[in-house]
Chains A and B, each alone.
Chain A
Amino acid sequence: MRWATRRHCHVDRAACAWLIRRFLDPEAEFVFVDDPDEVPADATPFDMRGVELSHHGGDCSFETFLRRYELADPVLWEIAKLVHEADLADERYDAPEAPGLDVLLRGLSMVRDDEELLALSGPLFDGLYEYRKRALLTGREPA
């Protein structure tokens, strides 16, 4: 399937792309556009104004994906809190790692294009998923 989002990805779009490839569509292809009007007819848009898979009711797009696709995995919701705070910093959640994640991805986006950004941030989110999973299973931060 083809998926479309805005060019110059930051944390929310990078996290959504990772979620799509890992949990929804392993064959996903991404198209980056400047304007919602440029979204190809066969692509599903996300993290853009006026589309379903975007910010709603104070949720960031990653949270919207979890709700719309009914992904109830508690580890994904842990990551959602982190992505929300890195993207919006509105203190809805307590996520002390968020400013760090924001800086890492913002910096990466300055030196890599969108394709490369997603290729590099994917394993980062894989690692976050593993870390948060172990933390949930053992009830303590993995060492």
Chain B
Amino acid sequence: MLLAYRLPRDPSTPRSALWRKLRRLGATQLLDGLAALPLDARNREQLEWLADEVFEAGGEATIWIGELASAAQERELATRMAKAVAADYRALIDDAAAARSERAGRRRRTLGRLRRELRRIRARDYFPPAERELAQQAVDELAALVEESVR
């Protein structure tokens, strides 16, 4: 599914709001003004609301249901999306490792934050990379450490 859009350069707020919302959904920017997202009922609805926001900001937007012409290109796109979330998972794994040396109270708060972050990343993970399992492990291990320190 594709969102093709054009937004005025100024003001820049709607642009950055749109960019942030597309990123949260896990969309990939194919070109300037063209974002791709796997098709499902929820994404379709969310993309339609974003298209309306573009109109309200004085821009233009259309939604396309598309298919890549070759399987190789399709794999490439999936790989690109998987790589983007893999990087997010790796950052989370690093944060979890750093939290191990934090003091107990602070570590508990970090755990809460990382659990929420993991949920957010999983929500936009359509082609799970190996890092997904590793990130889950890192958070589980941190949770075990937090539990241990209260005993």
- Chain A residues close to B by CB (< 8 Å): 8, 49-50, 54-58, 88-90, 99
Contacts and interface: CB of A to CB of B under 8 A. Distances in A.
B53 interface: yes
Nearest to A91: B24
Interface of B: 17, 20-21, 24, 41, 46, 48-49, 51-53, 56, 119, 123
A54 B24 CA distance: 21
A89 B56 CA distance: 20
Given A8-B41, A89-B24, A90-B24, A55 B52 contact: yes
Contacts, number: 24
B147 to A, nearest CB: 21
> 7 closest pairs, A vs B, by CB?
A55-B49, A49-B48, A49-B52, A55-B52, A90-B21, A57-B56, A90-B24
B60 to A, nearest CB: 15
Nearest to A54: B52
A8 B57 CA distance: 29
Contacts of B17: 58
A99 B24 contact: no
A88 B20 CA distance: 13
